[in-house]
Chains A and B, each alone.
Chain A
Amino acid sequence: MKKQGNSSGTIAVFSFPLPSRSNYALLANLATILSHVYDKVIIVTGDLISAFPHIIDDLKPANKSRIFIYDLRVKLPSRDRYVPFITKLFIFIKIQVYIVTASIRLSNMIKSALFFIGIPHMLPLILLLRLMKKGS
């Protein structure tokens, strides 16, 4: 995504990769509303693309040209199968690194950041944005 200096009217929605398709439908619902309020809506999450066939209806009334997806290219392991703790921890750290990197890359493009599902997991990111706000 190309960086732009003008952040006016841009909101980033940060969400941890979601565990189910119905959660992505909620995210699509939120993105649709925001696309009518903000000039640009950047959705930062993982695995949204694969959920697309299931949320396409939810996005129908959206102002699609205003929605941008920053795919973290990482997804949560399925709830239905056993995943060792060490793997889960590795995925969690990977998501943290990717999401913080995303926020740094997007920081001068956005005016507001909205945290959706998985808020406790995004604490490092919230702290970072808070510090960036203080520093500016």
Chain B
Amino acid sequence: MKISDIAWIVAVKLADVVISEVIDPLYEDPIKLKYARLRLPIALRFIDLDKFRITKPINKRVYDIAFIARLEPEKGLPEFICGVKLLYREGLRPRILVGGSGSLLSLAKIALKDLDARPIQYISHKEMPNVLNDVKILVLPSKKEGVPTILLEALACGVIPVASKVGGIPWLLKTARTGILLNKPSCSSIYQALKCLLTLEPPLLEEISRRGRLFAEKYLSLGSAIVRYRILEELSPRRSNIATHCL
């Protein structure tokens, strides 16, 4: 065990409450769960739902598939490229968007050269709603995640996610009843998930896309976040002795 892990455990033990974004304890970091006096899964952030909304129906979007993340091995870029290449080998020719930069940028450029793919190194947060409204499927094959902001924003824009079973992602996708969870973010599982979604009938895609938006309206609004956090106020001591919370 590393020193930082020990520090984590002591900190968590000392805190009155541990707040987490991950709702489902099955996928929570075991350190937080095991030693917390009280764990409250209330820390899911909010998204600007006016900015991140569906402005283009899913079947009219330009890119079939997008990968938007830091281009690093832990984000699953090599597996994504491999999965997409299998689709091309089978005769499917999805349009692809790869957004982000990182140590694998040159590898991505070379690997995507023969595909119908557009790499964008930097997408500003202002542009993100427009970019997401041009995407049908977002692939997030990360090896480790908490609750990725890009996934929340994608759901709000009706993008269908294909994401690995880590951190807060399983709860999000199961509750939203959208997208496909990858048991392992491998080349073949990405290929199979994408093939399944790309061959769906347009009305069904539309329905799945709408579910993501409905989830966002229910759980990701500022109002719902405020309601979740109010419990902290109620738990805090009435006098001046300080309650401690770890996020």
Contacts and interface: CB of A to CB of B under 8 A. Distances in A.
A133 B11 contact: no
Residues of B contacting A: mostly: mixed
Contacts of B15: 115, 126
Interface of A: 7-9, 11, 22, 25-26, 29-30, 32-34, 36-38, 57, 60-61, 107-108, 110-117, 119-123, 126-127, 129-130, 132-133, 136
A112 B242 contact: yes
B4 interface: yes
B243 A126 contact: no
20 contacts: A9-B233, A11-B236, A26-B45, A30-B43, A32-B222, A33-B45, A34-B229, A61-B48, A111-B240, A112-B244, A113-B244, A114-B232, A114-B244, A114-B245, A114-B246, A119-B8, A120-B8, A126-B246, A132-B242, A133-B244
Contacts of A132: 241-242
Contact of A33 (B10, B229, B238): B229
Contacts of B48: 57, 60-61
Interface residues of B, number: 35
A132 B239 CA distance: 13
A19 to B, nearest CB: 13
Contacts of B232: 11, 37, 112, 114
Contacts of B233: 9, 37-38
B237 interface: yes
B196 interface: no
A130 B244 contact: yes
Interface in B142-178: 149
The 3 closest A-B CB pairs, nearest first, are A120-B7, A136-B241, A114-B245
Contacts of B239: 136
Contacts of A108: 240
A121 B246 CA distance: 12
A29 B45 contact: yes
Given A36-B226, A37-B230, A37-B232, A30 B45 contact: yes
